[in-house]
């Protein structure tokens, strides 16, 4: 995907969260957003995912402008997938019902077709045995992996993942990150917000450092994480990588 | 000690206490007079059940409407909802019944006191229902709405498939509790001469001069209705807790 963001501004009341953010990626499969808390990563991701409309500015994926009106945005959201930090699944439905819901109600598959569609992915990610459970009966890692699957089985153009592991303990974090790594190998494109720098280094084609509502650094992971010449960026990684 | 045993012991202790009180005042029981009027009491009981069920349906509808009004983005509609809820919850049902029957109903020429009774009771209980429904909707976390939008649901689909199924589960225990209140509150309809359970007991008392024999069956009758509902409310509450 080629992501082209120009002068993106997002204000909530009087606070300016995104302050003229501009970035042009090369043709990447995995773009990772990193940066300090409150820097605007989630705000940016919500705009990219078509959930919020920016105050000003333009976003284009592969040359296609994101719409600003709600009907077109809803259409757009049906072509992408989004996973949040937690509580993605609908607690009154089983894991299977969570997977079937968008297939049946948004993409018009019959129940039978939808079940056929999810069978293989459930097997591949060893989740078939848990499909009959409600979210309350699943571990945090299983919940997130089902949520990623739910976003994936509608065959979206790309995924948006906002800190999908930051509510998980290390073991579950590993199982979710493994899944994301495997997805990349299978050809899935995604924009990922994460604090897992080791993982970011391995999976990212490009890393963008978001701070103070802007892109403070952007490039290949090694360049940004290990040897950035931007002081703000260097001190951030010096602190979190010890 | 198992819960049922504890309950049984407490009930027996209470019964013993009350029996003791009765033995101290040397009350001369006379059940035969009241027995003559059992048909009247049964009828009153039936009317109370019918009125309560009708008012439950009415107050649910009014409650949904009022919750929508209060949650509306239109300030005028919101004001209508808020004023209704606060006015009703801030005044005694007795006053509402008297004004509703002798002023409003008379003014519009509505004479059937049963209809007026059900309407006033529905309006009264509807204000509480509105707060229950609003609380239920507010308790659904924003991430659920976000997730629903993220998978491409329309606002209506999101309400139907995601928000309402969760909100209904959430409010059912409170609605069952509100129904309990409704059944007891319906006893006030006696002041506008609706022949429900309480009025029946009052009449039996005035015919027989056997006060306790008239009112004890009244208490038993209300408990017969409210205890199972309270139990249901608790079961629903527990079941929902296990689910999330
Ligand atoms: N709807 C909103 N209304 C007002 N302020 C908001 C809103 N959403 C975000 N903000 C503010 O915008 C700033 C950036 O928030 P954002 O969630 O995008 O940061 P982040 O980079 O994702 O941080 P974190 O790493 O903690 O998730 C924060 O100061 C936040 O309080
Ligand atoms: Mg965030």
Contact check, Cβ <8 Å, A49/B150: yes
For A107, name the nearest residue in chain B, comparing CA atoms only.
B152
User: Cβ distance B63 to B133 under 8 Å?
Assistant: yes
Residue B184 pLDDT: 94
Residue A212 pLDDT: 93
User: What is the per-residue pLDDT across B100-140, written as a single tens digit (0 to 9) for each?
Assistant: 999 999 999 998 999 999 999 999 999 999 999 999 999 99
Do the domain assignments include residue B134?
yes
Number of domains in chain A: 1
Reading the block at residue B53, the tokens are 């069920």
Do the domain assignments include residue A56?
yes
Do the domain assignments include residue B93?
yes
Domain at A10, CATH number: 3.40.50.300
How many CA atoms lie less than 13 Å away from B203 in the CB half-sphere?
A: 19
Nearest residue, CB atoms, B150 vs list A82, A91, A136: A82
C-alpha pair distances (Å), A52 with each of A11, A55, A69? 11, 9, 10
User: What is the per-residue pLDDT across B1-55, written as a single tens digit (0 to 9) for each?
Assistant: 888 899 999 999 999 998 898 888 888 888 988 899 999 999 999 999 999 999 9
Candidates A99, A52, A91, A167; CA nearest to B139 is A91
Helical (H) or strand (E) element with A176: helix A170-185
**ipTM for the complex shown:** 0.93
Residue B240 pLDDT: 75
Strands A15-24 and A30-34, sheet pairing: unpaired
Residue A90 contacts B, CB cutoff 8 Å: yes
Ligand 2 center–CA B138 separation, angstroms: 23
Best of A11, A41, A191 for a ligand 1 pocket test (most atoms within 8 Å of beta carbon): A41
List the end-to-end C-alpha distance of chain A, in Å, as a whole number: 33
Distance between CA A179 and CA A141 in Å, rounded?
A: 10
Residue B242 pLDDT: 60
| 107-146 in chain B: CB under 8 A from chain A | 141, 143-144, 146
Q: Is the pLDDT of residue B178 over 80?
A: yes
Domain at B156, CATH number: 1.10.3720.10
Number of domains in chain B: 1
Residue B3 pLDDT: 87
User: What is the per-residue pLDDT across B62-112, written as a single tens digit (0 to 9) for each?
Assistant: 999 999 999 889 999 999 999 999 999 999 999 999 999 999 999 999 989
Contact check, Cβ <8 Å, A136/B243: yes
Q: Which domain holds residue B230?
A: 43-239
Ramachandran category for residue A156: left, alpha or beta (phi over 0 → left; psi -120 to 50 → alpha): beta
Can you spell out the DSSP letters for A193-218?
Answer: E-S-HHHHHHH-SEEEEEETTEEEEE
Which residues have beta carbons under 5 A from ligand 2 (an ion)? A 42
Helix, strand, or coil (residue A192): strand
Distance, CA of A122 to chain centre: 20
Do the domain assignments include residue B9?
no
CB within 8 A of B197, min separation 6: which ones? B41, B44, B45, B47, B48, B186, B187, B218, B221, B222
Interface with B, mutate which of A105, A137, A150 (most B CBs under 10 A): A105
* φ, ψ dihedrals at A40, nearest 5°: 115, 10
pLDDT < 50: residue spans in chain A: none
User: What ranges in chain B are assigned the alpha helix state H?
Assistant: 3-25, 31-36, 38-70, 75-89, 93-98, 106-107, 113-138, 142-150, 155-157, 164-185, 197-208, 211-243
Helix, strand, or coil (residue A157): coil
Ligand index nearest the alpha carbon of residue A17? 1
Q: Which domain holds residue A28?
A: 3-87+157-240
For B147, name the nearest residue in chain A, comparing CA atoms only.
A88
User: Cβ distance A164 to A178 under 8 Å?
Assistant: no
Angle at B29 between CA B28 and CA B30, to 5 degrees: 120
Instruction: Indicate whether this model's pTM tops 0.80.
Output: yes
β-bridge partners, A98 = none
Residue A222 pLDDT: 92
């Amino acid at each position: 995907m080629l992501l082209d963001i120009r002068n993106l501004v997002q204000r909530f009341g009087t606070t300016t969260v995104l302050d003229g953010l501009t970035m042009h990626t090369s043709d990447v499969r995995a773009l990772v957003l990193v940066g300090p808390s409150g820097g605007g990563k989630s705000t940016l991701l919500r705009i990219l995912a078509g959930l919020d409309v920016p105050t000003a500015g333009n976003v284009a994926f592969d040359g296609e402008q994101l719409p600003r009106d709600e009907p077109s945005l809803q259409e757009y959201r049906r072509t992408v997938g989004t996973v949040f930090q937690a509580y993605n699944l609908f607690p009154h439905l089983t894991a299977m019902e969570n997977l079937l819901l968008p297939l049946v109600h948004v993409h018009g598959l019959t129940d039978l077709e939808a079940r056929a569609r999810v069978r293989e992915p459930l097997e591949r990610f060893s989740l078939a045995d848990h499909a009959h459970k409600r979210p309350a009966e699943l571990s945090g890692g299983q919940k997130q992996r089902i949520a990623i699957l739910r976003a994936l089985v509608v065959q979206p153009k790309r995924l948006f993942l906002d800190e999908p592991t930051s509510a998980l303990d290390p073991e579950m974090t590993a199982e979710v990150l493994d899944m994301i790594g495997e997805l990349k190998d299978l050809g899935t494109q995604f924009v990922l917000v994460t604090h897992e720098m080791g993982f970011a280094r391995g999976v990212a084609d490009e890393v963008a450092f978001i701070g103070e509502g802007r892109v403070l650094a952007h490039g290949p992971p090694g360049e940004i994480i290990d040897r950035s010449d931007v002081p703000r960026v260097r001190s951030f990684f010096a602190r979190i990588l010890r | 000690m198992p819960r049922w045993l504890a309950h049984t012991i407490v009930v027996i202790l209470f019964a013993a206490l009350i029996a003791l009180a009765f033995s101290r005042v040397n009350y001369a029981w006379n059940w035969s007079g009241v027995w003559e009027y059992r048909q009247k009491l049964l009828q009153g009981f039936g009317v109370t059940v019918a009125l309560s069920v009708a008012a439950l349906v009415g107050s649910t509808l009014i409650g949904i409407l009022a919750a929508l009004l209060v949650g509306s983005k239109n300030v005028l509609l919101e004001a209508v909802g808020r004023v209704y809820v606060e006015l009703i919850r801030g005044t005694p049902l007795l006053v509402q019944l008297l004004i509703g029957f002798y002023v409003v109903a008379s003014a519009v020429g509505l004479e059937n006191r049963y209809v007026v009774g059900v309407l006033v009771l529905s309006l009264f209980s509807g204000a509480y229902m509105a707060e229950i429904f609003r609380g239920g909707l507010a308790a659904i976390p924003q991430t659920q709405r976000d997730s629903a939008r993220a998978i491409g649901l329309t606002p209506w689909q999101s309400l139907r498939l995601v928000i309402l199924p969760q909100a209904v589960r959430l409010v059912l225990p409170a609605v069952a509790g509100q129904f309990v209140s409704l059944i007891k509150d319906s006893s006030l309809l006696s002041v506008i001469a609706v022949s429900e359970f309480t009025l029946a007991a009052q009449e039996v008392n005035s015919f027989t001069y056997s006060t306790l024999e008239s009112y004890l069956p009244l208490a038993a009758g209300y408990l017969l209705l409210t205890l199972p509902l309270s139990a249901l409310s608790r079961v629903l509450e527990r079941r929902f807790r296990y689910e999330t």
